[in-house]
Chain A
Amino acid sequence: MQTEIEIRGLSHHFVSPGGKSVSTIEDISLNVAPGEFVAIVGPSGCGKSTILNIVSGLLAVSEGEISIGGKKVQGVSKELVYMPARDSLFPWRTCKKNVELPLELQGILTPAERGERAEMLLNAVGLNGFSDYFPSSLSHGMRQRVAVARTFSTSPRILLMDEPFSALDAQTKIVVQDLFLKIWEEEKQTVLLITHDVMEAVALADRVVVLSARPGKIKSIHNIDLDRPRSVRKLLFDEPKFQKYLHAIWEDLDVQE
């Protein structure tokens, strides 16, 4: 089987202000196939964001190896897009200009083509008519939808997402997740999604990786055998298998109250 993202023996530690070395993740190995959607769940502080920061090239590897498309990761790469929890929209740019930003920075397409692509993506996330609005006049959910549109703007091969929908309220979250799925099922990027929301992981991913508490180690991997195209809304209410997966993963997470 081909691999798009290869993580081998990845460990990382931070040096605390007191000079002590704090291990955050230990010996993580994971292969993600092209077009595969993998979600990583784990308790808060177990090093999920650290993994993503390393894969994205923002953070240097302390131990282990990461390859993307067979090439070792060294610094940030244009093949992948990172979507964080906060929308990071530029407040002085209109929605459309925000979606165009990655294209502009990477020098992709002509200005006219960028505009067309941005309009198309804003339509896809249900924001037709809002192109010329500034982020300050949009709701949380709308802003995050602009961020989704921006994420797809460069047609990246790989999406890295760090709790991208965690800042949204329950209803809005489902709407945005479904919009995201709809675009993704057409484009089929390789996705590595970090989340602490088990429901989100099961609803979106082909495989769910469960991490243990800090230092994060891989505890189990669950194949999610649900038909595609999926709809989060439908899964939540009409899919018995969905509940089964939730149960199994929740068990593994071993959340103590």
Chain B
Amino acid sequence: MSKNNTSTKSKKTPKFAFSNSGSSAISLYRLITIVVFLLFWEWVARSGLVNPLFLAPPSKVVDSIGFLNEQGLLVPNILATLKAAFAGFLIGLLVGSLFGFVIGLNPLLNKFCAPFITMMNSTPRIALAPLFVLWFGIGISSRIVLVFSLVVFIVLTNTIAGTENIDKDHLVLAKLNSAKRRDIIFKVALPSVVPWIIAAMRVSFAYALAGAVVGEMFLGQEGLGYLITAGSGVFNVSLIFAALGMTIAIAFIVDRLMGLLEKRILRWRA
């Protein structure tokens, strides 16, 4: 905040790169692409080329969103999905990074755990949804567990990878200064691992949201996933698209926010 060197930086960026100065142009092209895509979609859906039972035009999707809102179904369902997604995400983030950190810093424990982590990581967690419902009931807790099970391993494996990639030179420097174990953990290991945790965080939120929605599709009585199931039950495609659209919007906004957080926390990066 104190030093503003963005102007000097953009000067240095070569013309052929996607530089800061070109980013407004890119935004414009993006916008054009989206508009063209929506128009094309609208045209295809209305032209009669596709059975309207399978594809709803964007204008009808927007109508559906408005309808949901009038019925008081929009906000509560979005909130329900957000609640399950965020709860599972945050617990998974906390548990995954904590365990990953402890496991990664203990080479023996790491070696011992590696095959178990691989095994659990390769289990398709989504397929466990029915089991979770059996174990935790049809309330929100089974969906939180599902989201958690998706997020925790992404964060865990990334955090462990982070500890394995701590710069040896940094460790040697700490050792030469007779660093205490506590200092090695908090002044060398932790800052080295933070970028890995943040990367995992951004990747795993998409999974968290998908987990929440899929969980609602299975047995929930609320949420965007429930709207999708309800929509397909009555062949209401625009409802399905409306719920999907909301899901995408949430994913997009949250990713942007996390991008800002990342920039702030990792401001020491080039």
Of residues 106 through 155 on chain A, the ones whose CB sits less than 8 Å from some CB of chain B are 106, 132-137, 154
B63 within 8 A of A: no
- Per the CB 8 Å criterion, the residue count for chain A at the interface is 26
B176 within 8 A of A: yes
B77 to chain A, nearest CB (A): 41
Q: Interface readout for A208-230 with B: 1 if CB under 8 Å, 0 if not?
A: 00000000000000000000000
Whether the pair A136, B268 counts as a contact (CB closer than 8 A) is yes
A134→B266 CA distance, assembly (Å)? 11
Whether the pair B270, A137 counts as a contact (CB closer than 8 A) is yes
A6→B187 CA distance, assembly (Å)? 34
Q: Interface readout for A41-58 with B: 1 if CB under 8 Å, 0 if not?
A: 000000000000000101
Whether the pair B174, A105 counts as a contact (CB closer than 8 A) is yes
Whether the pair B172, A105 counts as a contact (CB closer than 8 A) is no
Q: Interface readout for B1-20 with A: 1 if CB under 8 Å, 0 if not?
A: 01101000000000000000
Contacts of A136 in B (CB 8 A): 268-270
- From the candidates A76, A92, A106, A134, name the one contacting B191 in the complex (CB within 8 A): A92
Q: Take A88-B173, A104-B187 as given contacts and tell me if A132 and B178 are in contact as well, using a CB distance cutoff of 8 Å.
A: no
A136→B3 CA distance, assembly (Å)? 15
Q: Take A104-B187, A132-B2, A134-B268 as given contacts and tell me if A88 and B169 are in contact as well, using a CB distance cutoff of 8 Å.
A: yes
A82 within 8 A of B: yes
A69 within 8 A of B: no
Of residues 217 through 270 on chain B, the ones whose CB sits less than 8 Å from some CB of chain A are 267-270
Question: 18 additional contacts, CB 8 Å, given A88-B172, A136-B269, A137-B270?
Answer: A56-B176, A58-B172, A78-B178, A81-B176, A84-B169, A84-B172, A88-B167, A88-B170, A88-B173, A92-B194, A101-B173, A102-B177, A104-B187, A105-B177, A105-B178, A105-B187, A137-B5, A154-B177
Between-chain CB contacts (< 8 Å), 14 pairs? A58-B175, A84-B172, A86-B169, A88-B167, A90-B188, A90-B191, A91-B269, A93-B268, A101-B177, A104-B183, A105-B174, A105-B177, A105-B178, A106-B177
